[in-house]
Amino acid sequence: MKRPIAISDSANFYVSAERIFDQTLKNVPVIVLSNNDGCAIARSDEAKALGIKMGQPLHHIRDKIETHGVRVFSSNYTLYGDISRRVVEVYEDFTPNVEIYSIDECFLDFVGFKDRTAHALALRSAVLRRVGVPVRIGIAPTKTLAKCANEIAKKNPIFAGVLDLMEDALADWLLPRVPVGDIWGVGRKTEQKLKALSIHTAGELRDMPIRQARAVGTVVLERTVLELQGEACLSFEDVEPQRKGMAVTRSAGTPMEDFDTLFQAITAHASRGAEKLRQHGLVAGTLTVFFHTNRHRPDRPQYAASKSTRMTPMSSDTFELVEAARRCAVAAWPKSRSETFGFTKAGILLNDLVRYEDRPQTLFEQVRPKSGALMGAIDQVNDRFGKRTIVVASEGVKQSWQLRADHRSPRYTTRMEDLPVVR
């Protein structure tokens, strides 16, 4: 028996999240910008119709913005993360198993539902009613086919946002009409190789000999071909796999030219990393600090560095991670005093993650007295009264390095001062 897997994704998610609380954004072109208000990373259908491309720099489209009245927003990740959580809560009312793939996409277990299309339409309606975000749903026996069904449902209004591709006859009819570059896992280089072999559609890729697929795109393309044939190679994760690593990184609003300013940013990232570790019940075995200048400014002095250190014992303690980050930052800081570097990005990487109870203990391990209670108290205060209520002093107060977000909307659902007011 083939196991039906669905994938539901939110339409133009960041834009849809902005539209929930601002009805004047309906049916008008809207774009959401990347960190530091650099380029467009989300576009409404109206903005796409104006020819605004994904990743297009803001300064390249100012004329279109002014001419067509395009509404522009800075990324509001606090809002988007909370709206994503609410969407997942609706999913959980319609299926016993939800696998979160990204902030706007989830795989759903559709085993046991007799009328899958009706169930998906009811789910779609519930998300729109309870959260206000439109979603599209693709259903198939494999994740790759489900993604393909989802893409077809996006582009063809005849499917009303839902496409069930469990029937082989329907897949046989639709796959030859899907460009091979639209298939999940087929990148640009692989697409070029396939087109050189006269493979232009998903149907032709499905019929590609397995050995040839491995020769062209290694085991990744081989797996994609098998998935298109209906053989599930990517399992449905009923239980979220344990994280092996995490990164906390941000671009700077203004270049960081001195060590103290840079270390403010690194302290903030290390503190956030420690908080995320504790949320997942993990400890880190390795910490890496990195920072670099703007690679797109060859007229300015360039410098990039990274340093790593082992965490012994493994830890999720904010103070221990900040201290380790400082050692790495000092070691990586440029030794030349003749040039001033403007660092535009910094971050930390945490690797070798294990659950706290599974951590290897050293012979002479010394745990800070009451460390766990202190970290728990800090997390509780910051949860109750807002992020950065309690911070490490080296994180600073004014934080000139913070991202530019000149067009950010209020954080309606997570900040008391940003709650919408009905007059």
Please state, in angstroms and rounded to a whole number, the distance separating the CA atoms of residues 122 and 125.
Answer: 5
**Percent with pLDDT over 70 in the chain:** 95
Distance of CA 262 to the CA centre of its chain: 25
382: in domain: yes
294: in domain: yes
Please state, in angstroms and rounded to a whole number, the distance separating the CA atoms of residues 90 and 83.
Answer: 11
- pLDDT of 62 reads 94
pLDDT digits (tens, 9 = 90+) for 226-237: 999 999 998 877
Give mean pLDDT, residues 314-322: 93
The CATH number linked to 309 is 3.30.1490.100
Q: What is the bridge-based pairing of β-strands 343-351 and 282-293? A: antiparallel
Give mean pLDDT, residues 279-300: 90
104: in domain: no
269: in domain: yes
209: in domain: no
Average pLDDT over the chain reads: 90
Whether the per-residue pLDDT at 368 is higher than 80: the answer is no
Greatest C-alpha distance within the chain: 72
Residue-number span of the structural domain to which 381 is assigned: 245-395
Please give the tally of structural domains in the chain: 1
- Kindly list the strands in the beta sheet with 71-73, ordered across the sheet, starting from the edge strand earlier in the chain: 40-43, 30-33, 71-73
Please state, in angstroms and rounded to a whole number, the distance separating the CA atoms of residues 261 and 265.
Answer: 7
**Percent with pLDDT over 90 in the chain:** 66
Whether the per-residue pLDDT at 240 is higher than 90: the answer is no
pLDDT digits (tens, 9 = 90+) for 369-385: 567 888 989 889 988 88
Please state, in angstroms and rounded to a whole number, the distance separating the CA atoms of residues 136 and 124.
Answer: 7
More confident position, 388 or 351:
351
Q: Please give the structure tokens belonging to residue 248.
A: 């906390």
346: in domain: yes
91: in domain: no
31: in domain: no
